[in-house]
A and B are shown apart, each in its own frame.
Chain A
Amino acid sequence: MSSSAILRHQEDAVTTSVVAEAEPAPALDPTPKRAVGQLAAQWYRLNKESLRGVAIGAISLFLFLVVWHLLTTYRVVFFVRFTNVPAPLEVYASFTKAIHDPKFLMHLLLSCRRILIGFSLAAVVGVPLGLVMGRFKLIHEIVFPVAEVLRPIPAIAWVPMAIMLWPTNEQSIVFITFLGSFFPILVNTLHGMSLVDPVLVRAAQCLGARESSIFREVYFPASLPHIFTGLTVGMGVAWVSLIAAEMISGQYGIGYFTWEAYSLVQYADIALGMIAIGVLGLGSSLLIRGGGQLAMPWRSK
């Protein structure tokens, strides 16, 4: 959020300076320059806090790398053993090698595809089911007990069952990813439905809205913030479930890559795999947050 604000301000500053330079008024030459300077100062004053945050964040990340470097180069053993842990530069070297390796990219792409299919299915089934359960008591009464019994079972515990259920390995991994994200999405959608302000429903009825319109125009948008909470949580659990499933039963995928690196004593690749998982997880949750801001313009200031 803060970074977008910074960007916007920068754009403002740039357009203003362009306009100022384009003006053919040599007599007033010093004025635009001072205006730009003032603008920059003002921009700095307004964004001081977020700039400070960015600076501290950068320093903190740098320090993390330095500590990692020191711990591994001196092979520190203090309960925790850093003897075999790869140094950051080793990981970087293996990263530069990996990005030219089609196999590594295939691992990444396959994991992303599994997430995309499993998570999308969970969203496509979970959100409408939650909406319908929240609106119709009978459906809630039928589905809820089953959901409550299945919900506490971690997706990883489904691995053996999934292998039995589905004809291919690929399908069972997607199924586990689906299960991981399905319940958070369902539960949050349901929660959102239960919090819809009844006065808004009555207001819509007084304006001539029928059942289907109330569903579309009131219940759905009112539940959207909670739906997106569910999607964010669901995406996190989807990655957890996917990596576990890939490590146990996979043949490809970034989770399999990480586990394989351990079996093949390629320690730098373990860290590379972990970082790749972290970056992909972060990226996908940013995508959902962006989607949320697009879908709910009334909530962004």
Chain B
Amino acid sequence: MSQIERQVDIRPPQGHIEVEDFALSYETIEGSVEAVSNTHIHVKPGEFVSIVGPSGCGKSTLLNAVAGFLKPTSGTVTVDGEPVNGPSAERGMVFQQYSLFPWKTVRENVEFGLKMRGMPRAQRERAARTLLGLAGLEAFEKHYPERLSGGMKQRVGIVRALATGPKVLLLDEPFGALDAQTRVIMQQILTNLWQRMKISVLFVTHDIDEAIFLSDRVYCMSARPGSIKAEIPIPLERPRQQSMMMSSEFLALKRGLMSLIREESLKAMGGEISDLGMQGLNIDLHGHSLAEIL
């Protein structure tokens, strides 16, 4: 670990994200539409925080504002006290669509951020190899992304975002496009990496199991205009294991979050589905959130 830290230049725990009085609205032909309103969130250094909520609640909007792609209409976004003005390598991001550069090999993708920083070739090659080793991808360093499976692509995406030693890691439904088995493995890999690197993580998902399994704290967002409806600490001990997902503690947390989300999903859909139809859905949920099914 110490060897990796030296090579990749990971700074001591930093990355205090603070979002205050946040609101963001879009201009449309019918006037401005409020996507997110009156939102406060924070992530302490080294903390793993998830945001869950129904589709279209503005959770990705919030994440994109922290990344610096969107400017808040009002309120502030700061990392370690410094306001966010546009994207930077201090805030690594992982996208749902993998977003690997198809014209670069796996290793070149991981090297990209270091290259942008002006690190000499030999040094960044070594750093990239070390990181790929951590994610079990050494054998694929010379492959082009097209030839990788979805899970491997996303591992490269995570490693690439971590390579520059960012203060915070932002993940926008990173495992949404993966099958259930791969997703579980990826969650384990992500927690392992996070524990080694001690980096602040803000994780957006609509999968409640995933949010609980990974996080120290979960924010639950309400439907449009999005705002934080609840903040739920996850006191499960670390390191987390798959078996915990069957524990009564985990299930109680899940029940609580699910009822919150269900309420919001119903609100979001408004009159789209009659109460009668919803009762049928209530019975058939089988432990999944409505947002997941829809």
Mark out the residues of chain B between 75 and 93 whose CB falls within 8 Å of any chain A CB in the assembled complex. 86-89, 91-93
Is A200 interfacial (CB 8 A cutoff)?
yes
Asked if A203 and B164 make an inter-chain contact with CB atoms under 8 angstroms apart, the answer reads no
- B116–A209 CB distance below 8 A: yes
Across the two chains, which residue of chain B brings its CB closest to A210?
Answer: B116
Q: Given A200-B99, A202-B95, A206-B92, 9 more contacts at CB 8 Å?
A: A203-B95, A203-B101, A204-B101, A205-B87, A206-B87, A207-B164, A209-B112, A222-B103, A224-B103
Which residue of chain A is the closest to B112 with respect to CB atoms? A207
Q: Say if the beta carbon of A251 comes within 8 Å of chain B.
A: no
Q: Is A296 an interface residue (CB 8 A)?
A: yes
Of the candidates B67, B102, B103, B117, the one whose C-beta lies within 8 Å of that of A206 is B67
Which of chain A's residues have a CB closer than 8 A to the CB of B46? none
Taking a contact as CB atoms under 8 Å apart, the answer to whether B87 and A202 are in contact is: yes
Pairs A–B under 8 Å by Cβ, sample size 11:
A203-B99, A203-B100, A203-B101, A206-B91, A206-B92, A207-B113, A208-B116, A222-B103, A298-B102, A298-B103, A298-B144
Q: Does A49 have its Cβ within 8 Å of any Cβ on chain B?
A: no
A224 contacts across to B, CB distance below 8 A: 103
Question: Which residues of B are found within 8 Å of A209, using beta-carbon distances?
Answer: 112, 116
Q: How many chain-A residues does the 8 Å CB contact rule pick out?
A: 21
Q: Which residue of B lies closest to A206 (CB)?
A: B93
Q: Contact mask A201-235 → B, CB, 8 Å, 1/0?
A: 01111111110010001100110100000000000
| Contact across chains for A199 and B99 when beta carbons are under 8 A apart | yes
Q: Are B103 and A203 in contact (CB under 8 A)?
A: no
CA of A224 to CA of B104 in the docked complex: distance in angstroms? 13
A interface secondary structure, majority: helix
| Contact yes or no, B97 A199, CB < 8 A | yes
Residues of A within 8 A of B101 (CB): 200, 203-204, 217-218, 221
Q: Does B161 contact A (CB under 8 A)?
A: yes
Pair A217/B89 contact, Cβ less than 8 Å: no
Alpha-carbon distance A200/B103, docked complex (angstroms): 11
CB closest residue in chain A, given B88: A208
Chain A residue nearest to B166 (CB atoms) is A206
Which B residues are closer than 8 A to A by beta carbons? 67, 69, 86-89, 91-93, 95, 97, 99-104, 112-113, 116-117, 144, 146, 160-161, 164
Q: Which of A5-26 contact B (CB under 8 A)?
A: none
Q: Select which of A217, A222, A296 is within 8 A of B112 by beta carbon.
A: A217
Smallest CB-CB separation from B90: which chain A residue? A208
* Max chain A C-beta neighbours (<10 A), residue from B86, B113, B164: B113
Interchain CA distance A200-B112 in the complex, whole Å? 12
Q: How far, in whole Å, are A202 and B97 apart by their CA atoms in the complex?
A: 12
In the complex, the chain B residue whose C-beta lies closest to that of A207 is: B113
How far is B100's CA from A221's CA once the two chains are assembled, in angstroms? Answer: 13
What is the bound-complex CA distance between A205 and B116, given in angstroms? 10
**A211 nearest CB across to chain B (Å):** 12
Q: Taking CB as reference atom, which chain A residue is nearest B157?
A: A203
Which residue of B67, B92, B103, B112 has the most chain A CB atoms within 10 A of its CB atom? B103
Q: Please, which residue of chain B has its CB at the minimum distance from the CB of A298?
A: B144
Contact A202 B103 (CB under 8 A): no
- In whole angstroms, what is the CA distance A221 to B164 when docked? 23
Q: Please indicate the chain B residues that have their CB under 8 angstroms from the CB of A217 in the complex.
A: 101, 112
Instruction: Determine if B69 and A202 form an interchain contact, defined as CB atoms under 8 angstroms apart.
Output: yes
CA distance A203 to B112 in the complex (A): 10
Tell me whether B99 and A202 are in contact (CB under 8 A).
yes
The answer for the CA separation of A101 and B153 in the assembled complex, in Å, is 60
Q: B100 to chain A: which residues have CB within 8 Å?
A: 203
In the bound complex, CA of A92 to CA of B71 (Å): 73
A-side contacts of B112, CB under 8 Å: 204, 207, 209, 217
A138 to chain B, nearest CB (A): 21
A297 to B39 Cα, complex, angstroms:
47
Q: Within 8 Å CB of A296, what residues of B?
A: 103
- In the complex the two chains form, what is the Cα distance from A297 to B99 in whole Å? 19
* Chain A residues with CB under 8 A of B91: 206
Smallest CB gap from A208: residue in B? B89
**Is B89's CB under 8 angstroms from A298's CB?**
no
Q: Are B116 and A213 in contact (CB under 8 A)?
A: yes
Contact B93 A208 (CB under 8 A): no
Which of A197, A200, A207, A222 interacts with B89 by CB under 8 Å? Answer: A207
Say how far B164's CB is from chain A's closest CB, in angstroms: 6
Query: Contact at B93–A298, with CB atoms within 8 Å?
Result: no
Contact A207 B160 (CB under 8 A): yes
